[in-house]
Amino acid sequence: MASVALTNLDPASRAAARGWSDLTIRNLFIIPTLVFLIVFNIFPLIYSLGYSFTNFAANRAEPWQFVGLQNYRELLSDDHIWSNFVITAKYVIVSVAGQMVVGFGLALLLNRSFPMKGLITTLLLLPMMMSAAVVGLFWQLLYSPSWGPINYVFGLGDFAWLSNPDSALYAVAITDIWMWSPFVMLLSLAGLSAVPQHLYEAAAIDRAGWWYTFTRITLPLVSPILLIALIFRTMEAFKTFDIAYTMTTQPTAELIAIRLYKQAFQQWDTGKSCALAYIVLIMVLAITNLYVKYLNKVKER
Amino acid sequence: MTQIELRGIEKFFGAVQVIHNLNLAIADNEFIVLLGQSGCGKTTTLRAVAGLETIDKGDILIDGKPVQHLKAADRDIAMVFQSFSLYPHMTVFENVAFPLRATRMSSGEVDKSVREVARVLRITDLLDKRPSALSGGDMQRVAIGRALVRRPKAMLMDEPIGALDAKLREEMRAEIKRLHVKQGSTTIYVTHDQIEAMSLADRIVIMHEGFIQQVGTPDEVYSHPANLFVAQFVGSPVMNIAEARVADQAGAASVTVGEAPAGFEFPHQLLSKLNGHSSGGLTLGIRPEGVLVRHDAAPGYMPVEASIIEPLGSFDIVDLKVGSTMLRARTKAGYVSGPGERVHVRIDPEQAHFFDTASGKSLGVRL
């Protein structure tokens, strides 16, 4: 069927006069993108997989050696790395959970008609559109112990959000929640407005209260799109680098991406860093896979 | 035991008034059909009774108690929507059980009630399916089941079978009638289909542009339409409407339509019954079955020419040229062989209706 449609080129067109087929035109559009992806994405990916089995260091000229699984072995038995993973896990859970709750809550509030709804929605989306490094820098100022507005507003004296080892990670997570809740809000709004109004009317007639309607109608019907938001945010949170890197130097807030950066570009341990990057990739893939399986199950209903 | 009363209901959408001073009393167990074209206010009226729409003026009384300030959930009425509005993520069982569970009924009782309703509606086999796997008719059965299961004070139906195809519509119509006879509950049913209205209703409420035009039994609105709107809206094929002049002619009344050279013969008492309306501003209404056609000449019959013939299976509709106007007659299938054929026509005085042209109101003249 598709191949039949592909040959339907208007015989009067200039392309046909040049002797091009529909297939030629399709290739003209697709091949540059494919080449770009292969050169800049797929090739480095495979090349770095090769590096991960060597002791290659990008800043040294001496020849590198094949070391087999040694990099992986060392990394997986390194307590320091494991503590980075634990920190990352805490960060992902706190920040993604926060974004889901705040984002979905905002969407519930916005899912009705009120004056200036469009303007307010747009304003709420602004944090998401800023550069993460800039957001990090600004929040560093907001958190400032001596003259930051956050301590002033909440009356916290000179509480040092970012240099206190116990709070640094959560301070970064709060910033991330501020920045990315709008994303969850946007997806949730799409999900909520796709729930037909007549179902709410039917529920009202059926004497369902607010909470019953919310848990039995609203939540099940928006859950597929909420799961998609969850997948995106988990993946992103897992690889958070810029916000955390610009905000704090606390070891208790050293996410796996920061660890990876230090190993690759401060210690110049390129081979080992490639191995670590692959470990992170496999973990993200595994988590995403779980979500996707669950998503498919939800969608089947 | 539920009576519903609407008193002086007015409703505006912005500056547009969609319901004008609507008054209606519905008796216990009565099947009321709100009939009208789309935009006539019938659905808005129904939704106001349901509590899905607020009203700007007037009272809605259920069993004598005003409910216009209560939420839909507190009025104890059930509703069947045109779009069925089944919950897509729940099985049929859960859909029917929803109104019971929403009021925290014990699951044993829920199970019993749902199965009882499923048996009545013959949907027991479908209980484990999801709405997306059902046919239109079955979806409607489930929607009705969800409304019936809680034994509500009243049932509201908003074009419940309008979305189904013609054959299924006929089936479901019979089914709704059967259910109402069996279960008996005060029902308000909204439709734009006059056949549905005629076949289901105890009383029909005909609405037009936010006003009630007539309230009456199917027979009343058919045989005694209150005005030109009702006359033309109820009945298929549509009633013939023509400006008419009435004259006294040798001891009989003669009714002329469409500047025809001769008039139709009516009994003389028409003149006295019309009581002065005979000169101008008079409109004759006659259903196609009241236009009598025969091949050969007879006293009282007028020779005319047939122009269009619509064969409708069991009967034909024949357009007859009478002066400058057309009268549609209902004849036996194939009685008039083709356009241009000369036939003889008479109007059955007993089936004629007379209206005041300016106001459209029926003059109530019956012979």
Distances (CA, A) of B99 to A205, A226, A240, B136: 8, 27, 46, 22
Binary contact (A202, B50; C-beta < 8 A): no
State the pLDDT at residue A8: 66
Q: How confident is the model at residue B270 (pLDDT cuts 50, 70, 90)?
A: confident
Residue in B with minimal Cα distance to A211:
B102
Q: Does residue A70 belong to any structural domain of this protein?
A: no
Amino acid at B291: V
Name residue B244's beta-bridge partners.
B257
Residue in B with minimal Cα distance to A199:
B85
The pLDDT of A267-281, averaged and rounded, is: 93
pLDDT at residue B184 tops 90: no
B269 shares contact with chain A (CB less than 8 Å): no
Average pLDDT, rounded, for chain B: 90
Nearest to B103 among A207, A216, A217 (CB): A207
Let me know whether A103 and A225 are in one domain: yes
Q: Does residue A72 belong to any structural domain of this protein?
A: no
Binary contact (B98, A201; C-beta < 8 A): no
Residue in B with minimal Cα distance to A215:
B102
| DSSP class of A251 | G
Q: Does residue A58 belong to any structural domain of this protein?
A: no
Q: What is the edge-to-edge ordering of all strands in the sheet holding B203-208? A: B77-80, B154-158, B186-191, B31-35, B203-208, B211-216
Out of A274-283, B171-180, B254-263, the most confident range is: A274-283
Between CA B270 and CA B260 the distance in angstroms is 20
Q: Does residue A245 belong to any structural domain of this protein?
A: yes
Q: At what angle do helices A256-265 and A270-300 cross, to 10 degrees?
A: 150
B324 shares contact with chain A (CB less than 8 Å): no
Identify the CATH number of the domain in which residue A269 sits.
1.10.3720.10
State the pLDDT at residue B151: 86
Between CA A271 and CA A64 the distance in angstroms is 9
pTM for the whole structure: 0.78
Amino acid at B141: R
Let me know whether A212 and A282 are in one domain: yes
Let me know whether A206 and A284 are in one domain: yes
B315 shares contact with chain A (CB less than 8 Å): no
pLDDT at residue B2 tops 80: yes
pLDDT over 90 for what percent of chain B?
A: 60
pLDDT at residue B131 tops 50: yes
The pLDDT of B60-83, averaged and rounded, is: 91
Q: What is the pLDDT of residues A97-119, one digit of tens each?
A: 999 999 999 999 999 889 999 99
Q: What Rg do the C-alpha atoms of chain B give, in angstroms?
A: 25
Q: Does residue A62 belong to any structural domain of this protein?
A: no
Chain B neighbors of A203, CB-CB under 8 A: 98, 102
Between CA B316 and CA B308 the distance in angstroms is 10
For residue A115, give both structure tokens: 């004056």
Let me know whether A212 and A292 are in one domain: yes
Q: What share of residues in chain A are helix, strand, coil (percent, to 5)? A: 75, 0, 25
Q: Are B214 and B206 in contact (CB under 8 A)?
A: yes
List of domains in chain B: 4-233 (3.40.50.300), 241-356 (2.40.50.140)
Let me know whether A127 and A184 are in one domain: yes
What are the φ and ψ backbone dihedral angles of B327, each rounded to 5 degrees? Answer: -115, 130
Distance to chain A for B300, nearest Cα, Å: 59
Spell out the alpha helix ranges (H) of chain B: 42-50, 92-101, 107-121, 136-148, 166-183, 194-200, 218-223, 228-233, 269-274
The pLDDT of A66-78, averaged and rounded, is: 91
pLDDT at residue A2 tops 80: no
Q: What is the pLDDT of residues A80-99, one digit of tens each?
A: 999 999 999 999 999 999 99
Q: What is the pLDDT of residues B212-261, one digit of tens each?
A: 999 999 999 999 999 999 999 998 889 999 988 888 887 888 888 888 88
Let me know whether A246 and A142 are in one domain: yes
Binary contact (A199, B78; C-beta < 8 A): no
Chain B neighbors of A301, CB-CB under 8 A: 89, 130
Q: Are B81 and A202 in contact (CB under 8 A)?
A: yes
The residue assigned the tokens 């019971």 is: B100
Binary contact (B85, A198; C-beta < 8 A): yes
Q: Does residue A52 belong to any structural domain of this protein?
A: no
Q: Does residue A185 belong to any structural domain of this protein?
A: yes
Which residues of A lie inside 8 Å of B (Cβ-Cβ)?
Answer: 196, 198-199, 201-209, 212, 216-217, 220-221, 301
The pLDDT of A285-291, averaged and rounded, is: 90
Q: Which of A14-18, A163-167, B156-160, B191-195 has the lowest mean pLDDT?
A: A14-18
pLDDT at residue B276 tops 80: no
State the pLDDT at residue B183: 82
Which of A205, A216, A217 to probe by mutation at the B interface, max B CB count within 10 Å? A205
Residue in B with minimal Cα distance to A219:
B89
Between CA B360 and CA B367 the distance in angstroms is 20
B167 shares contact with chain A (CB less than 8 Å): no
Let me know whether A162 and A14 are in one domain: no
The residue assigned the tokens 């990916």 is: A45
Q: What's the domain count of chain A?
A: 2
Q: What share of residues in chain B are helix, strand, coil (percent, to 5)? A: 30, 35, 35
Let me know whether A272 and A203 are in one domain: yes
Let me know whether A14 and A118 are in one domain: no
Between CA B116 and CA B121 the distance in angstroms is 9
Please name the residues between 223 and 252 in chain B that touch chain A, using a CB distance below 8 Å: none
Let me know whether A160 and A251 are in one domain: yes
Range of the domain at A271: 79-300
Please name the residues between 65 and 94 in chain B that touch chain A, using a CB distance below 8 Å: 71-74, 76-79, 81, 83, 85, 87-89
Let me know whether A118 and A33 are in one domain: no
Between CA A60 and CA A75 the distance in angstroms is 22
Let me know whether A17 and A132 are in one domain: no
Q: Does residue A119 belong to any structural domain of this protein?
A: yes
Q: Which of A51-65, A218-232, B134-148, B276-290 has the lowest mean pLDDT?
A: B276-290
Q: How confident is the model at residue A7 (pLDDT cuts 50, 70, 90)?
A: low
Q: What is the pLDDT of residues B92-109, one digit of tens each?
A: 999 999 999 998 888 899
Binary contact (A205, B52; C-beta < 8 A): yes
Residue in A with minimal Cα distance to B133:
A301
Best CA proximity match to B26, nearest among B178, B203, B160: B203
Residue that wins the pLDDT comparison between B30 and A64: B30
Residue in B with minimal Cα distance to A300:
B89
- At B6 the three-state DSSP class reads strand
